[in-house]
């Protein structure tokens, strides 16, 4: 019998409120030491440390199955974390060893992710080369009906062309069940040229199950192709990335994140049958993390858009009271989950202004979402309307801890968060919101004091002709 097998099944440990290991029984102490930790230092096993922080934050005991690294292998543990007055008590059991994951030297699925990340649009097929997926926006941008193509042979969408050797790279790849590149084709019915690349996918039995692929437009009407000897373009304001960077980032991440969120929500809701409560909570955590990542993607896409020199908005007549009510409605579930009440404008209130509906809604969703996030349980968020000096004002006020005077300018800076330890986003939301407000001819300001909550004021130009028609 190995020494480890003679140790107790359950190992007890304690962390202080900062996550430092106060003491631990031998089995847990040894695992922590192999991970590079020691008594008196932060726990070096991230999965257990994260569970302890969650239990401490929620103030309840949490039990969860985790898999932690133990040298080159993994170990499956059952961890119970229970917050106490000045510490978190850990009970660790299970201790089932398993071989650690080792990625293959050449993983076609991962290769597919890399080649797809820079594509103009994406596609997938089954083993019979029938189309199973096409990017949602591809049809509208390039002139074909996505719905009509799903389930059809790939040759219904593409007229494949031979290469210089008289071969069709895609057919050679099917025979070899391998990756292919450089398959040129024409989008049927559009006269547009495209280059295809793909990596093979396999089913659980290792059989060929189709391709995950990318399409690169060779005669794109969206981006002018430079001449071979043309100088490199001058880097734009967004960190030197090309203008298409955010679009490609959006396409590469939005769809897979959307699938992750949808599947995790389905598991959490137990639509396919009951689960252990801990597993349902874990699925909810996955969905929440997916939404957080999706929000970061959207922020980066917006950031590049607003920092372009040619960025403009499309002015239109708005009822800012209606926009505020819609924004509050979108955040109803989040407010209920946080036990925060949102007092929105009455249905008969109107505030005619000029702006862009989509952008004004984006600003107000950000402001109200922040107010809900930083409000205490049982708190209130107020949305009020005012008219002054030719501008319409929407005021979003909360009962949070407030913002110190020296921080009130910084919160509108890019990638800035006053307290990084608090839950929140990328530090781009208020920067983007103010840029949008000013692009629409208005502004976004804050009035706050520590302990007194925060009061954000979003202004847009009043639509004076609307008042004349109301008289």
Query: In terms of pLDDT, which residue wins out, 186 or 290?
Result: 186
Does residue 225 register a pLDDT over 50?
no
- Over range 179-190, report the average pLDDT: 88
Q: How confident is the model at residue 466 (pLDDT cuts 50, 70, 90)?
A: low
pLDDT of residue 383: 94
Quick one: what percent of the chain has pLDDT higher than 70?
75
Q: How confident is the model at residue 3 (pLDDT cuts 50, 70, 90)?
A: very low
pLDDT of residue 295: 63
pLDDT of residue 22: 94
pLDDT of residue 445: 92
pLDDT of residue 381: 93
Does residue 423 register a pLDDT over 60?
no
Does residue 1 register a pLDDT over 70?
no
Give the predicted TM-score (pTM) of the model: 0.44
pLDDT of residue 341: 93
6-20, 100-114, 323-337: lowest mean pLDDT where? Answer: 100-114
Q: How confident is the model at residue 430 (pLDDT cuts 50, 70, 90)?
A: confident
pLDDT of residue 358: 83
Does residue 467 register a pLDDT over 60?
no
Query: In terms of pLDDT, which residue wins out, 335 or 219?
Result: 335
Q: How confident is the model at residue 23 (pLDDT cuts 50, 70, 90)?
A: very high
Does residue 108 register a pLDDT over 50?
no
State the chain's mean pLDDT as an integer. Answer: 78
Q: How confident is the model at residue 425 (pLDDT cuts 50, 70, 90)?
A: low
pLDDT of residue 230: 42
Query: In terms of pLDDT, which residue wins out, 350 or 285?
Result: 350
Angle between helices 277-306 and 245-268 (to 10 degrees): 160
3-7, 122-126, 312-316: lowest mean pLDDT where? Answer: 3-7
pLDDT of residue 415: 63
158: phi then psi, degrees, rounded to nearest 5: -115, 135
Residue pLDDT, tens place only, 434-456: 988 998 999 999 988 777 888 99
Q: Which among 435, 415, 418, 434 has a CA at the least distance from the CA of 426?
A: 415
Q: How confident is the model at residue 201 (pLDDT cuts 50, 70, 90)?
A: confident
Residue pLDDT, tens place only, 259-293: 777 777 777 777 666 777 777 777 777 776 666 66
Quick one: what percent of the chain has pLDDT higher than 90?
20
């Amino acid at each position: 019998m190995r020494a480890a097998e003679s140790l107790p099944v359950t190992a007890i440990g304690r962390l202080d409120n900062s996550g430092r290991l106060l003491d631990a029984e031998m089995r847990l102490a040894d695992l922590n030491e192999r991970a590079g930790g020691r008594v008196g230092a932060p726990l070096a096993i991230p999965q257990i440390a994260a569970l302890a922080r969650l239990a401490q934050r929620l103030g309840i005991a949490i039990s969860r199955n985790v898999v932690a690294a133990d040298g080159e292998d993994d170990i499956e543990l059952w961890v119970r974390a229970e917050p106490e007055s000045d510490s978190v008590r850990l009970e660790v059991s299970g201790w089932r060893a398993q071989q650690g994951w080792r990625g293959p030297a050449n993983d076609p699925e991962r290769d597919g992710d890399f080649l797809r990340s820079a594509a103009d649009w994406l596609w997938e097929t089954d083993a019979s080369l029938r189309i199973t997926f096409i990017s949602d926006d591809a049809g509208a941008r390039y002139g074909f009906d996505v719905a009509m193509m799903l389930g059809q042979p790939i040759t219904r969408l593409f007229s494949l062309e031979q290469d210089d050797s008289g071969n069709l790279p895609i057919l050679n790849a099917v025979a070899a069940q391998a990756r292919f590149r450089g398959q040129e084709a024409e989008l049927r019915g559009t006269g547009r040229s495209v280059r295809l690349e793909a990596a093979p996918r396999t089913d659980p039995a290792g059989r060929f199950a189709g391709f995950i692929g990318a399409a690169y437009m060779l005669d794109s009407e969206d981006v002018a192709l430079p001449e071979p000897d043309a100088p490199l373009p001058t880097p734009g304001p967004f960190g030197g990335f090309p203008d298409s960077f955010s679009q490609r980032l959006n396409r590469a991440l939005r769809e897979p994140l959307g699938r992750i969120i949808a599947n995790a929500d389905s598991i959490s809701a137990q639509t396919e049958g009951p689960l252990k409560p801990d597993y349902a909570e874990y699925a909810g955590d996955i969905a929440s993390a997916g939404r957080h990542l999706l929000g970061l993607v959207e922020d980066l896409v917006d950031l590049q858009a607003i920092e372009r020199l040619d960025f403009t908005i499309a002015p239109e007549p708005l009822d800012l009271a209606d926009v505020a009510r819609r924004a509050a409605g979108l955040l109803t579930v989040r407010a209920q989950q946080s036990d925060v009440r949102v007092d929105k404008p009455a249905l008969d209130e109107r505030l005619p202004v000029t702006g862009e509906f989509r952008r004004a809604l984006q600003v107000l969703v950000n402001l109200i979402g922040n107010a809900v996030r930083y409000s205490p349980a049982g708190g209130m968020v107020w949305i009020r309307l005012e008219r002054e000096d030719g501008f319409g004002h929407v005021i979003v006020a909360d009962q949070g801890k407030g913002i110190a005077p020296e921080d009130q300018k910084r919160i509108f800076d890019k990638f800035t968060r006053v307290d990084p330890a608090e839950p929140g986003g990328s530090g781009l939301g208020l920067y983007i919101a103010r840029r949008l407000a000013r692009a629409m001819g208005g502004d976004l300001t804050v009035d706050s004091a520590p302990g007194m909550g925060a009061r954000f004021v979003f202004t847009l130009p009043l639509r004076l002709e609307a008042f004349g028609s109301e008289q």
